[in-house]
Amino acid sequence: MAAEWDPEGRAAYRPLLTDLYQATMALGYWHAGRAQDAAEFELFFRRCPFGGAFALAAGLRDCVRFVRAFRLQDADVQFLASVLPPDTDPAFFDHLRALDGSGVTLRALPEGSLAFPGVPLLQVSGPLLVVQLLETPLLCLISYASLVATNAARLRLIAGPKTRLLEMGLRRAQGPDGGLTASTYSYLGGFDSSSNVLAGQLRGVPVAGTLAHSFVTSFSGTEVPPDPMLAPAAGQGPKVDLAASVEEWLGRVCAHLGLGVQEPHPGERAAFVAYALAFPRAFQGLLDSYSVWRSGLPNFLAVALALGELGYRAVGVRLDSGDLLQQAQEVRRVFRTVAAQFQVPWVEWVSIAVSNGVDEKELARLAQEDSEVNIIGIGTNVVTCPRQPSLGCVYKLVSVGGQPRVKLTEDPEKQTLPGSKAAFRLLGPDGEPLLDLLQWAEEPPPRAGQEMSVWPRAAQKPCLVRPAQVEPLLRLWVWQGQLCEPLPSLAESRAFAQLSLSSLRPEHRRPDNPAPYQVALSEKLQALVEALGRGGLP
């Protein structure tokens, strides 16, 4: 595979990232002389995840990269030959060697779009054999990306716009590819940064991090810094022995906090001094290695105030155990009293970060108005999506040779919508979405200000709607293997996602018991569905 299209060297972009039955069907198509039949598939989900009323579309960039790079190498074909019947015609493998994505066309929702059940996230058209082989990899690339982006968006809505969210789940993720995907699309969904350095290098995700308990507990207090001298932040004036200055400040801080003769842990203090010497402009303290009140907080304040005398400003503290909300409120109270006592106003506003298995319920508690928490780190509960581990996307054939195809089943929820379709979002006068409309691709698009009759899914009768605005949803990204327009950057898609969410009515955005968002069919599409259900065509 060309290096241009596989800059990350990940398994996700290899053509055999697929299920074996895709290859067996490909052989069947080839034997039937149907490999080149024009076909169209749609990729969509049937239910919104997490009990919510929306999803965010994500993974398009990965799909475009996969399709444009798609080509089986000799080693790929040789492996398929080893798992297919030994009497398979060698000409089939010659056909596979000649395959690429040059005949494939992709239409899709832009990354960061609001997405709803039944509305295609992706439309894939091209030679039947090729677009069949694309099924599993495209589902793999879209499903988890959209799931984690939606999960992140829910967490962002709960946290509100001001609290910073840090994704820190790489060590909890389902393997390295899952970790990179989670870091990428949690950022798209609304997180501010990630601890994942590779996501920063490869995807441009802002990275952030502090220090772990191991750094703090590795110090005993007997260590002597090789060079404890620190120059003032302004660069003028004599250097100061930071460790000695910290000891002087410690007595004053302990007296203010009423700690008596009990000394804060010397190893923790030595760790903070070492970290401050390495990062004087970005000093942060992890407060709960021993005791927040008896050790972590006074040690941090002593170092922060010693740095402050030299013109540096500590940037924050982190709490990682216990009642995070109560501790944050108490730490802020101490910051306020110290700021007033020692005439250092900036201490009052030192950032407070928290982490420790934060889920939606705890996040809502930490995000309340008086919480005093500035940054919330979330790991397991964003990257693993524990409330719903799969979005359940499907990839269904809707036309072959220009003729509609449909799956009829005893389960009405699994019946597919036949034919090549267009999708539109109908907006009200305030710009808020009213419903999404699916119709035949050849039907004239709906017009703003024009009343129309539409069929909400699962409804027994149509309803009338008059949109103030009409927004086409599916854009052409790849035409016969060629990129039609530049893909937005990850940061641009993130901004678009937040704008899209802000347009959605509050009753659809709420995380619990939201009002369902309507997806409707045009009268012509509804008539076709009914006719196929009766076993005929209109």
pLDDT in tens, 201-225: 999 999 999 899 999 999 999 998 9
Rounded to whole angstroms, the Cα distance separating 424 from 93 reads 42
How confident is the model at residue 1, as a pLDDT?
31
At 228-273, the pLDDT tens digits run: 999 999 988 999 999 999 999 999 999 999 987 678 999 999 999 9
**Which residue shows structure tokens 């149509």?**
462
Of the candidates 109, 106, 63, 161, the residue with the CA atom closest to the CA atom of residue 496: 109
Q: What are phi and psi of 499, to 5 degrees?
A: -65, -45
- Integer Rg of the chain from CA: 29
Q: What is the mean pLDDT of residues 397-413?
A: 80
Query: Contact at 8 Å (CB) between 421 and 439?
Result: yes
How confident is the model at residue 259, as a pLDDT?
85
How confident is the model at residue 115, as a pLDDT?
98
Share of the chain above pLDDT 70, in %: 95
Higher pLDDT, 530 or 120: 120
Rounded to whole angstroms, the Cα distance separating 280 from 435 reads 53
How confident is the model at residue 459, as a pLDDT?
80
At 292-314, the pLDDT tens digits run: 999 999 999 999 999 999 999 99
Rounded to whole angstroms, the Cα distance separating 518 from 493 reads 24
pLDDT > 80? residue 343: yes
Rounded to whole angstroms, the Cα distance separating 163 from 154 reads 14
How confident is the model at residue 5, as a pLDDT?
36
Rounded to whole angstroms, the Cα distance separating 300 from 307 reads 11
What is the helix (H) or strand (E) element at residue 519, kind and residue range?
strand 518-522
**Which residue shows structure tokens 């001094």?**
273
Query: Contact at 8 Å (CB) between 197 and 183?
Result: no
Evaluated on CA atoms 310, 315, 319, 323, the torsion sign reads positive
pLDDT > 80? residue 281: yes
Alpha carbon distances (Å) from 144 to 183, 271, 382, 384, 537: 12, 40, 12, 10, 37
Alpha carbon distances (Å) from 234 to 239, 272, 281, 312: 11, 22, 11, 9
At 15-49, the pLDDT tens digits run: 999 999 999 999 999 999 999 999 999 999 999 99
535: burial class by Cβ within 10 Å (0-12, 13-18, 19+)? exposed
How confident is the model at residue 246, as a pLDDT?
97
Sequence-ordered alpha helix ranges (H) in 84-174: 90-97, 128-133, 135-159
Helix, strand and coil percent figures for the chain, each rounded to 5: 40, 20, 40
Rounded to whole angstroms, the Cα distance separating 343 from 340 reads 5
Q: What is the mean pLDDT of residues 460-489?
A: 95
Query: Contact at 8 Å (CB) between 487 and 25?
Result: no
The region of weakest confidence among 105-114, 219-228, 383-392, 398-407 is: 398-407
- Please state the pTM of the whole predicted model: 0.94
Rounded to whole angstroms, the Cα distance separating 419 from 401 reads 11
Q: pLDDT averaged over the chain?
A: 93
CB atoms < 10 A from the CB of 54, how many?
23
Contacts of 340 (CB under 8 A, 6+ apart): none
Evaluated on CA atoms 444, 447, 453, 456, the torsion sign reads positive
Which residues lie across from 52 on neighbouring strands?
none
pLDDT > 90? residue 68: yes
Share of the chain above pLDDT 90, in %: 88
How confident is the model at residue 210, as a pLDDT?
85
Rounded to whole angstroms, the Cα distance separating 422 from 445 reads 8
How confident is the model at residue 217, as a pLDDT?
97
pLDDT tier at 405, thresholds 50, 70, 90: confident
How confident is the model at residue 3, as a pLDDT?
30
Q: What is the mean pLDDT of residues 361-373?
A: 94
pLDDT tier at 4, thresholds 50, 70, 90: very low
